[in-house]
Amino acid sequence: MKVAFSPKSRQDLLDIGDYIAKDSRANARLFVTGLVDQCHQIGLTPLGYASREDLAHDLRMAALGRYVIFFRVLDGTVRIERILHGARNLPAVFGRENKAEPSNQEPA
């Protein structure tokens, strides 16, 4: 399946690379390349990964080391939504993002 990166996931990759590069630029390049490679591996069997409906609609996740790749399958494309450190408060991150997106639900 085709893999596409959201603007936020692209920024996540840059931020991860910058953080690791403080210690080693070579390690930063290797790690970010590994994350991107893992994203493309997800495209081979995207429905085989864990669902995270508790965080957002149709969201799935894959882990690489301490990082978690969050994605959705939309119209035959795997869309990488975020790449975050597993120690982050994920419900808070996705709660903020879900509140920022327009809701299709009618008010109660």
Q: What is the pLDDT of residues 38-75, one digit of tens each?
A: 999 999 999 999 999 989 889 999 999 999 999 999 99
Do the strands 67-74 and 77-85 form a parallel or antiparallel pair, or are they unpaired? Answer: antiparallel
pTM of the model: 0.84
Q: Per-residue pLDDT averaged across 12-33, rounded? A: 97
pLDDT value of position 70:
97
Helix axes 25-42, 7-21, angle to 10 degrees: 150
pLDDT value of position 98:
58
pLDDT value of position 86:
87
Residue carrying structure tokens 């910058």: 18
Strand-pair partners of 5: 80
* Residue 89 banded pLDDT, cuts 50, 70, 90: confident
> What are φ and ψ of residue 2, in 5° steps?
-65, 145
Percent of the chain with pLDDT over 70: 88
Q: How many CB atoms lie within 10 A of CB 90?
A: 19
Domains, the chain, with CATH or none: 2-100 (3.30.2310.20)
Cα distance between residue 77 and residue 73, in whole Å: 6
* 77 to 12, 14, 46, 47, 61: CA distances (angstroms): 20, 22, 10, 12, 15
pLDDT value of position 103:
43
